[in-house]
Amino acid sequence: MSAIHPDESLAQRMHGLQPGEQPSPRNTPIIPGTSDDGTLSEDPGKRAPCVLGDRSFEDVTNIVCGYAEAKMPKPWLAALTITSSIAALGTGMILYLIITGVGVWGLNNQVDWAWDITNFVFWIGIGHAGTLISAILCLLKQNWRTAVNRSAEAMTIFAVICAGIFPGIHVGRVWFAWFLAPIPNSNGIWPNFRSPLLWDVFAVSTYATVSLLFWYMGMIPDVATLRDRAYMRLTKGVSRPMAIPMPIGNDIIVPQLPKPDQIRVLVYGIMSLGWRFSSRHWHRYEKAYLILAGISTPLVLSVHSIVSFDFATSIIPGWHTTIFPPYFVAGAVFGGFAMVLWLMIPLRMILPNFSDLLTKRHLENMAKILLLTGTMVGFAYGMEFFIAWYGANEFEFAAFANNRVNPAKAPYWWAYWTMITCNVVFPQLFWFRKMRQNPLVIWIVATAVTIGMWFERFVIIVTSIHRAFLPGEWHMFFPTWVDILTFVGSCGIFMTLFLLFLKFLPVFALAELKVVMPQSHTHDDH
Amino acid sequence: MIPKELISQAADYFPMLLRKPAPKYVSESGNRVYGMVAEFHETPKVYHAAEMVRDAGYSKWDVHTPFPIHDIESAMGMKTTKLPLMAGGAAITGVIIAILLQWGTTAYLYPTVVQGKPFDAWEPFVPIMFELGVLLTAFMCIFGMLALNGLPRFHHPLFSHERFYKVSDDRFIIAIESHDPKFDPAATRALLEKAGGTEIALIEDED
């Protein structure tokens, strides 16, 4: 057993085929005296490796498949228990809302959009990073994206699911939501195609469909790898029996149930559609991938532009602004990258060998994108304010000065300044190399940005409408417990789906990782 | 039963209706032979081997690789796929559907005064024209890619080869079909050996 390769041994141990308590990861080449893992070189002539530790193709397969083939780890089960309980709570809140009506939320005559639409824009914005990484960075030939694209795309799908809930349920009588679809009906009524709200329906549903297909298509070869490995274990007779995990003590082994590998062969077999890694297939696959990347790029920009039209085409001061589309898109990318980093940095610490595939260079690159988009968002905040003053529209200026910025006059000043601190001030830390190379600092900034981006949407939506043109129409918005628990529940749904993804699907784009390894080159001479 | 002449006439247009041709080669166990496979361990080797198979004039063969090898298309002498054209057609179809849907309903079926704008103004139709164009292109990309690849497919003779399962990990396999006009058990084996292939084996088609 001593001759067996460390990565293969790790994969087998994670799968329960080999005894051993703590899997020992291979040592990454850390330059002595620094926290550099060998990827932080500033020499432009030297390309940082995307996969560390001198790995072979087989090692990478073992590492990535090991995560999906491992026995359900206890911490994962504990986390899933918590998040799925929160998700169930959120589902209960949605049912309560549907049964009782939107009155259970804190909405009033003046503030008729509040946390519901805030949450919608928050989640749909988070989704944008996945498409950005998989499409725009693909077109720009940024090889480092292969480390994060799969998980970021998964995150996109789950965020769009969370986003889709809120506009669906905020309509009040949910059973009439089909009125949004252009379906011939006996009333002869058709939806109003001149409304940005209807454009939004088309944009978000197209985005959800295309992202899902993109994600699935990228996964076909990797799922085929999982299928083949499970099949090989079955034919060699080394599959473990089904075991039911218990909170304490040993798992209960049930030999009567089908083995996990038998289920894998069936489910992954159907999911991989009979993929057999043919070069003729790869050729069409790569073309399809490139076209999808090409159309997803304008798509991702269009979706958040259209979301911003929901506000920008109205005549409410604070909403009626032409800067909204680019401002929303930059904010979406910003918030999405923060969420990717927020999820990936803890995983990098917990999962063995994860940090060899997601190197410090990857984190630094993403921190740079946070700095760029954060500064763009900061510029947009400034420009919005400048135009409110320079445009000489006193209502627009009042919406900013009296409703948002001035602590003496604006009741929501704290929300505005939280947004500024989290979104504009925190990312500026990344001007310093030490800061953007420190995973803990990046994680803290990512947390701040996620909070800040929620507040940004809250500030745009609620502070603009809580005071209309007449002082008699001024009302504050106070969230009810249903408001709060529905939002918390949507976070639970998101995390539950992400945890399931981590356990059952390939977390890294395996085939794409192999392409960026030096062994994939066809000529030995360079 | 359908008369045989009808089937043969239809087969001019739909060749897949025809029964498979009689096996050119039959193994000792009586099964038809699908083809011959050879294994390679390194990317440059399989690339140069593919060039040799191409130059030997084979047409029904394939290279199975764990990841898309850069420029294997030219090493195999592959023609560029028609998929981009098909996707373009789908994009135009999507835009036309969006125009008909919006213009038909807004200007004719249910004309409603919205902010005093003309019923048939085209400007508000642009976002949905774009979205439907993208949606149909994406459908064509993925489903068209799968259809051209002949997927989904439940089984393939190569899956009966135990060593084929390593392709999804780190192995490269060149498979030459027995229906290739140039296929000859001895000559093909010699070619694959010369190209540096190991574990050369005949694959049976179990049906």
More confident of the two residues B24 and A14: B24
The span from the CA of B43 to the CA of B65, in Å, is: 9
Instruction: Say what the pLDDT of residue A90 is.
Output: 94
The span from the CA of B126 to the CA of A199, in Å, is: 9
Share of chain A above pLDDT 90, in %: 40
Is B152 within 8 Å of A217 (Cβ atoms)? no
pLDDT digits (tens, 9 = 90+) for A497-518: 999 999 899 999 888 888 888 7
Print the domain residue range for B199.
20-77+153-205
Q: Are residues B45 and B129 in the same domain?
A: no
Contacts (Cβ under 8 Å, ≥6 apart) of A215: A130, A134, A150, A153, A154, A156, A157
Name the minimum distance, in Å, from the CA of A499 to any CA of chain B. 25
Write the DSSP symbol of residue A104: G
Instruction: Say what the pLDDT of residue A283 is.
Output: 92
Distances (CA, A) of A81 to A87, A88, A348: 10, 10, 22
The span from the CA of B188 to the CA of B56, in Å, is: 10
Size of interface A-B (CB pairs under 8 A): 205
Whether residue B124 lies within 8 A of chain A, CB to CB, comes out as yes
Instruction: Say what the pLDDT of residue A1 is.
Output: 36
The span from the CA of B153 to the CA of A425, in Å, is: 54
Residue A186 clears pLDDT 80, i.e. is over it: yes
Task: Give A30's pLDDT tier (boundaries 50, 70, 90).
Answer: low
Q: Are residues B115 and B30 in the same domain?
A: no
Is B195 within 8 Å of B49 (Cβ atoms)? yes
CB atoms B115 and A194 under 8 Å? yes
B128-156: average pLDDT: 91
B129 domain residue, yes or no: yes
Task: Give B98's pLDDT tier (boundaries 50, 70, 90).
Answer: very high
Contacts (Cβ under 8 Å, ≥6 apart) of A54: none
Name the minimum distance, in Å, from the CA of A197 to any CA of chain B. 11
Q: Are residues B43 and B133 in the same domain?
A: no
Whether residue A519 lies within 8 A of chain B, CB to CB, comes out as yes
A483-494: average pLDDT: 94
Instruction: List all residues of chain A from 276 to 315 with a beta carbon under 8 Å from chain B.
Output: 276-288, 291-292, 295-296, 298-299, 302, 306, 309
Instruction: Say what the pLDDT of residue A445 is.
Output: 94
The span from the CA of B15 to the CA of B12, in Å, is: 6
Task: Give A21's pLDDT tier (boundaries 50, 70, 90).
Answer: very low
Which chain B positions have a beta carbon within 8 Å of A217's beta carbon? Answer: 142, 145
Is B35 within 8 Å of B174 (Cβ atoms)? no
pLDDT digits (tens, 9 = 90+) for A378-411: 999 999 889 989 988 888 888 888 888 888 888 8
Distances (CA, A) of A122 to A450, B48, B132: 9, 51, 24
Return the structure tokens found at A1.
Answer: 């057993």
Amino acid at A395: F
The span from the CA of A361 to the CA of A413, in Å, is: 38
Instruction: Say what the pLDDT of residue A203 is.
Output: 93
Name the minimum distance, in Å, from the CA of B56 to any CA of chain A. 18
Whether residue A268 lies within 8 A of chain B, CB to CB, comes out as no
pLDDT digits (tens, 9 = 90+) for A226-249: 999 999 988 888 888 888 888 777
Length of chain A: 526
B166 domain residue, yes or no: yes
Instruction: Say what the pLDDT of residue A3 is.
Output: 52
B176 domain residue, yes or no: yes
B52-59: average pLDDT: 89
Residue in B with minimal Cα distance to A226: B168
Instruction: Say what the pLDDT of residue A18 is.
Output: 58
Residue A16 clears pLDDT 80, i.e. is over it: no
Residue A54 clears pLDDT 80, i.e. is over it: no
Return the structure tokens found at A234.
Answer: 């079955």
B143 domain residue, yes or no: yes
Average pLDDT of chain B to the nearest whole number: 86
B164-187: average pLDDT: 88
Residue A27 clears pLDDT 60, i.e. is over it: no
Instruction: Say what the pLDDT of residue A56 is.
Output: 81
Instruction: Say what the pLDDT of residue A17 is.
Output: 58
Residue A286 clears pLDDT 70, i.e. is over it: yes
Chain centroid to Cα A410, Å, comes to: 33
Burial of A161 per CB tally in 10 Å (0-12, 13-18, 19+): middle
Name the minimum distance, in Å, from the CA of A276 to any CA of chain B. 7
B183 domain residue, yes or no: yes
Name the minimum distance, in Å, from the CA of B1 to any CA of chain A. 32
Return the structure tokens found at A403.
Answer: 């409703």
Name the minimum distance, in Å, from the CA of B98 to any CA of chain A. 10
Return the structure tokens found at B104.
Answer: 């038909």
* A56, A217, A231 member nearest B170 (Cβ): A56
Among the residue ranges A245-254, A264-273, A284-293, the one predicted with the least confidence is: A245-254
The domain locations on chain A are: 6-18+50-518
Task: Give A526's pLDDT tier (boundaries 50, 70, 90).
Answer: very low
Contacts (Cβ under 8 Å, ≥6 apart) of A368: A430, A436
CB atoms B141 and A284 under 8 Å? no
More confident of the two residues A76 and A39: A76
Beta strands at B32-40 and B172-177: parallel, antiparallel or unpaired: antiparallel
B178 domain residue, yes or no: yes
Among the residue ranges A71-75, A315-319, A443-447, B28-32, the one predicted with the least confidence is: B28-32
Residue A460 clears pLDDT 60, i.e. is over it: yes
Q: Among candidates A18, A10, A63, which has minimal Cα distance to A240?
A: A18
Q: How many CB atoms lie within 10 A of CB A294?
A: 17
Which chain A positions have a beta carbon within 8 Å of B167's beta carbon? Answer: 228, 276-277
Q: Are residues B143 and B91 in the same domain?
A: yes
The string of DSSP codes covering A125-174 is HHHHHHHIIIIIHHHTT-GGGGGTHHHHHHHHHHHHHHHHHHHHHHTSSG
Task: Give A19's pLDDT tier (boundaries 50, 70, 90).
Answer: low
Task: Give A32's pLDDT tier (boundaries 50, 70, 90).
Answer: low
B191 domain residue, yes or no: yes
Question: Which of A129-143, B124-138, B141-155 has maximum average pLDDT?
Answer: B124-138
pLDDT digits (tens, 9 = 90+) for A114-162: 899 999 999 999 988 888 888 888 888 888 888 888 889 999 999 999 9
Whether residue B83 lies within 8 A of chain A, CB to CB, comes out as yes
Task: Please list, residue by residue across B78-109, b when 16 or more beta carbons sit within 10 angstroms of its beta carbon and e when fewer do.
Answer: beebebbebbeebbeebbebbeebbbebbeee
Where are any strands of DSSP class E within A391-469?
A: none
Q: Are residues B141 and B159 in the same domain?
A: no
CB atoms B105 and A190 under 8 Å? yes
Which chain B positions have a beta carbon within 8 Å of A291's beta carbon? Answer: 83-84, 87, 137, 141
Whether residue B151 lies within 8 A of chain A, CB to CB, comes out as yes
Which chain B positions have a beta carbon within 8 Å of A279's beta carbon? Answer: 50, 62-65, 68-69, 72-73, 76, 78
Write the DSSP symbol of residue A201: H
Optimal mutation site among B67, B106, B126, B156, interface A, most CBs of chain A within 10 A:
B67
Q: Are residues B98 and B199 in the same domain?
A: no
Task: Give A7's pLDDT tier (boundaries 50, 70, 90).
Answer: low
ipTM score here? 0.88
Q: Are residues B73 and B174 in the same domain?
A: yes
Domains: count for chain B: 2
Average pLDDT of chain A to the nearest whole number: 86
Name the minimum distance, in Å, from the CA of A313 to any CA of chain B. 12
Residue that finishes a domain, picked among B148, B167, B192: B148
* A209, A276, A523 member nearest B64 (Cβ): A276
Is A438 within 8 Å of A35 (Cβ atoms)? yes
CB atoms A193 and B112 under 8 Å? no
B5 domain residue, yes or no: no
Assign residue A139 a region (left: φ > 0; alpha: ψ between -120 and 50; beta: otherwise). alpha
Residue A23 clears pLDDT 50, i.e. is over it: no
Sheet order of strands, B198-205 included: B61-64, B172-177, B32-40, B198-205
Whether residue B109 lies within 8 A of chain A, CB to CB, comes out as yes
Share of chain B above pLDDT 90, in %: 29
Distances (CA, A) of A397 to A215, A381, A389, A392: 44, 13, 6, 7
Instruction: Say what the pLDDT of residue A82 is.
Output: 95
Instruction: List all residues of chain A from 29 to 58 with a beta carbon under 8 Å from chain B.
Output: 56-58
Residue A319 clears pLDDT 80, i.e. is over it: yes
The span from the CA of A498 to the CA of A507, in Å, is: 10
Instruction: Say what the pLDDT of residue A519 is.
Output: 79
Burial of A439 per CB tally in 10 Å (0-12, 13-18, 19+): buried
